[in-house]
Structure 1
Amino acid sequence: DGGRRYGPWFKSASKEAAERSKAGAAGGTRSRAPRGRAARDKEEDRAKYIGCYVDNTRRRTLRGVSFFDYKKMTVFRCQDNCAERGYLYAGLEFGAECYCGHKVQAANVSEAECGMACKGERGNTCGGVNRLAIYRLELAQESARRYGSAIFRGCFRRPDNVSIALPASQTMLNMSVDKCVDFCTEKEYPLSALAGTACRCGFPTSLFTLHEREDEQLCAQRCAGEEYESCGTADYFLVYQTQVQDNRCMDRRFLPARSRHVVALASFPGAGNTWARHLIELATGFYTGSYYFDGSLYNKGFKGERDHWRSGRTICIKTHESGQKEIESFDAAILLIRNPYKALMAEFNRKYGGHIGFASHAHWKGKEWPEFVRTYAPWWATHTLDWLRFGRRVLVVHFEDLKRDLFAQLQRMVGLLGIAAREDRLLCVEGQKDGNFKRSGLRKLEFDPYTPEMRHAIGGYIKTVDAALKLRNLSGVPDDYYPR
């Protein structure tokens, strides 16, 4: 299942595909009653069902990657495949076909026309004959939307000083995304900007920050060299990040002089501490340390991992500790807080699958998961409460805010560390933000691991933490901590 999003449509030689037109013509396809919209929307927060749409083989409604599986297709599998490739929409058709795309280009029809059972999931429906059941992937914006080897960054207004902001350029009458990305890659620039028949290349700078996205429809001018691609206009550029590494923020070293102040990067396990260390190292140019030692992290480039946490050579220290004595050992702290439902699952995956792996189905369904929640869920609350109570100069950063507005939150974090980070360096970090410890795609579970009893207990812990934050005149927990 794969291919380039503008590539030739996959052709199936299977009997099921051949029978498709017959079934449609005869009206003889046995379709189950479609599940209600509310039931579909309840399938976690991974996607939102938007309706049943017309599709046909001549002009696809979703014009990206597609794949078929006439034995094991499920709604989640289709969503997951589209999300991992960075698409905004996933559509299921004929019980076994999955299509991905960035734009829905068809009219919607009655829900009754999308009632065919999924081949691999009898309790759910996967579209119908020439009918797509389409989901909008709510998490796709958080992931990198990819185009081959390039990463889609968005549609942006032409910068004022375009020749300075994007210094390399070439006119291409037969323009395509590939041609522009290849040109900028050859010129060793990390940004590729399509402007109609012009291709421009450069770096993210204060002249072209990529912070103010425009509606993608403003860039939706068809490429001369490829029917299903957009190439931007003279006034609105469609920007992709090439595989060229932006080296302006890649240098890292130990502090030139030993620091007398020890700053904690404190978090509950699974709250994104390793990712935050990666961002801090890129933003400051200095290694971070750890209260522990993890050989796998050291081998991945966290060279401060082997230093004693009191060595004074690192910019901050990772810690998951929550006791008064341990907390009072630090002079200041960045306290990273994450939605407990997400943090618990992330830590469970790490514990049983490694830093970028996943726990097995047997672990989720066995005794390990309930015991883990029983032990770790209350710790999520006491960890934050202890740091708020005993910590000195505590800067609270919500993991969700860091993902949503990395530039501003990273400025706050670096400020606490006493470093004046250059704007260009922070812009460089945005382009290198994922690092080596990011689990790809959506959550690899096709069921909700939380029981009503677990949710009731965790809900109480969330309210306790929310009240404690507000008592200190801080913003409470984000709204999405509370399940819908």
Structure 2
Amino acid sequence: MYAGLEFGAECYCGHKIQAPNVSDSECNMECKGEKGNLCGGANRLSIYRLELSQESARRYGSSIFKGCFHRPDNVTLALPISAVIQNMSVEKCVDMCTEREKTLAVLGGNRCHCGFPTPLFSLHEPEDESLCLHHCLGQEFETCGNEEYFVVYQTQVQDNRCMDRHFLPTRAKQLVALASFPGAGNTWARHLIELATGFYTGSYYFDGSLYNKGFKGERDHWRSGRTICIKTHESGKKEIESFDSSVVMIRNPYKALMAEFNRKYGGHIGFASQAHWKGKEWPEFVKNYSPWWASHTLDWLNYGKVVHVVHFENVKRDLFSHLKGMVQFLGLKVSEERLLCVEGQKDGNFKRSGLRKLEYDPYTPEMRASINELVRKVDAALRKRNMPGVPDEYMPR
């Protein structure tokens, strides 16, 4: 729980502090690896307490720490299963809620509550973690919250409230595109839309690997009318005008190009090799694909009949409200319980692991100058349509 820094270069770890306080001025040695910060002194420790989230991530890898939250107004309705646990610990509460097949384990002092995220307890308003820093009776180095502020973990139990999916009961009269440049998160958006609506999405293409992963609409002809929207990367006038409306998903070009390069050379959740990044493939790819990133959006804005623009980064930041907007655009009634269920399993099976991130910037100054100009064009086109421009992180500094 505690980290102690001494002599500018020594680190000690423990769950208790068994030493008296001394004057801050006695911790006067600069950290060897971080100039300007102090790392203790001669026989003196600068002591830091781990944040609750860090502590929990370290100790409870089988469950996910969600944060510190204020007690809901109606605990019985919000969290229907509850029990007092003698010598309470995080593990005991998580085990109890896992046994009861609930996705949330909620600790409030010596009481353990179990349930699902609902509008009564949505987990959308986390509190400062310091309000939950009350030791568990059964494990003094763990934090169990109290009667007013609850510590929340997500168990390994799958929330099945949004897992049922079907084809549309009656054939759709209008065709809705889910359009994006490759690498901009189309597959992820399909996963979110299917969970949020309960209906399969379709595709302009046929990808057997996606069909085998559960996208059952992948095998239908895109004009079948049995799916809620249709994935497409097309950007020609004729192809765009064959749809009645469209959700257009845009992603930061620097991230989208790298994601598509990884998919092209490593599959949906794999990676391109170092030889591909270092060889002629990457510069050639950027030269050919970066103009397409811009023209794709510009064409959909120009030729699309009714266009709803969504930015990948905004969905990641605030999934609930942006996914809700997509569901409403698709003409369906919003189920907040389904949306809360989606938040708990938003990644699905299509998140590329970050373990093999490049340790260098693959973009040359010339590449960046060209891409930055394309970003400005897309930003101007969005604003011309009275839409918000691109997120700040796209814009060149």
TM-score range, shorter chain: 0.7 to 0.9
* Deviation of the 1:58 alpha carbon: 4.5
**Which of 301, 308, 312 is residue 221 of structure 2 equivalent to?**
308
For residues 109 and 260 of structure 1, the distance between their equivalents in structure 2, rounded to whole angstroms, comes to 73
* Deviation of the 1:355 alpha carbon: 1.1
For residues 217 and 471 of structure 1, the distance between their equivalents in structure 2, rounded to whole angstroms, comes to 46
Letter in 1 for 2:390: V
C-alpha spacing 1:272/1:108, structure 2 compared with 1 (3 Å): farther
C-alpha spacing 1:210/1:58, structure 2 compared with 1 (3 Å): closer
* Deviation of the 1:224 alpha carbon: 2.3
Contact 1:176/1:231 (CA < 8 Å) preserved in 2?
Answer: yes
| Equivalent residue number for residue 22 of structure 2 | none
Letter in 2 for 1:293: F
TM-score normalised by L of structure 1: 0.72
**Which of 55, 63, 66 is residue 11 of structure 2 equivalent to?**
55
Contact 1:114/1:131 (CA < 8 Å) preserved in 2?
Answer: no
C-alpha spacing 1:161/1:59, structure 2 compared with 1 (3 Å): closer
Question: Is 1:113 the equivalent of 2:32?
Answer: yes
Question: Is 1:251 the equivalent of 2:164?
Answer: yes
> Identity of counterpart residues, as a percentage?
69
For residues 378 and 372 of structure 1, the distance between their equivalents in structure 2, rounded to whole angstroms, comes to 11
* Deviation of the 1:59 alpha carbon: 5.8
> Number of matched residues?
375
Letter in 1 for 2:364: T
| Equivalent residue number for residue 260 of structure 2 | 347
For residues 411 and 436 of structure 1, the distance between their equivalents in structure 2, rounded to whole angstroms, comes to 22
* Deviation of the 1:235 alpha carbon: 0.6
C-alpha spacing 1:110/1:275, structure 2 compared with 1 (3 Å): farther
For residues 194 and 14 of structure 2, the distance between their equivalents in structure 1, rounded to whole angstroms, comes to 50
For residues 480 and 330 of structure 1, the distance between their equivalents in structure 2, rounded to whole angstroms, comes to 31
Letter in 2 for 1:178: E
| Equivalent residue number for residue 358 of structure 1 | 271
Task: Note the 1:23-102 alignment, pairs <5 A.
Answer: 55-58=11-14
For residues 128 and 366 of structure 1, the distance between their equivalents in structure 2, rounded to whole angstroms, comes to 47
| Equivalent residue number for residue 72 of structure 1 | none
Contact 2:28/2:40 (CA < 8 Å) preserved in 1?
Answer: no
C-alpha spacing 1:57/1:412, structure 2 compared with 1 (3 Å): closer
For residues 385 and 265 of structure 2, the distance between their equivalents in structure 1, rounded to whole angstroms, comes to 36
Contact 1:153/1:241 (CA < 8 Å) preserved in 2?
Answer: yes
Contact 1:145/1:152 (CA < 8 Å) preserved in 2?
Answer: no
For residues 166 and 364 of structure 2, the distance between their equivalents in structure 1, rounded to whole angstroms, comes to 46
C-alpha spacing 1:322/1:185, structure 2 compared with 1 (3 Å): same
| Equivalent residue number for residue 183 of structure 1 | 96
Residue 222 of structure 1 aligns to a residue whose secondary structure is: coil
Deviations 1:133-153 (A, max 9, x none): x9x9xxx99xx9993211121
Question: Is 1:409 the equivalent of 2:331?
Answer: no
Question: Is 1:219 the equivalent of 2:138?
Answer: no
Residue 113 of structure 2 aligns to a residue whose secondary structure is: strand
| Equivalent residue number for residue 76 of structure 1 | none
Contact 1:113/1:131 (CA < 8 Å) preserved in 2?
Answer: no
Contact 1:54/1:108 (CA < 8 Å) preserved in 2?
Answer: no
Deviations 1:371-412 (A, max 9, x none): 111111111000000000000110000111101111110111
Residue 353 of structure 2 aligns to a residue whose secondary structure is: coil
5+ residue gaps, structure 2, are 18-25
* Deviation of the 1:357 alpha carbon: 1.2
Residue 322 of structure 2 aligns to a residue whose secondary structure is: helix
For residues 360 and 136 of structure 2, the distance between their equivalents in structure 1, rounded to whole angstroms, comes to 42
C-alpha spacing 1:405/1:56, structure 2 compared with 1 (3 Å): same
C-alpha spacing 1:399/1:115, structure 2 compared with 1 (3 Å): closer
* Deviation of the 1:172 alpha carbon: 1.8
* Deviation of the 1:226 alpha carbon: 2.5
Letter in 2 for 1:153: K
Give RMSD over aligned pairs. Answer: 2.9
| Equivalent residue number for residue 322 of structure 1 | 235
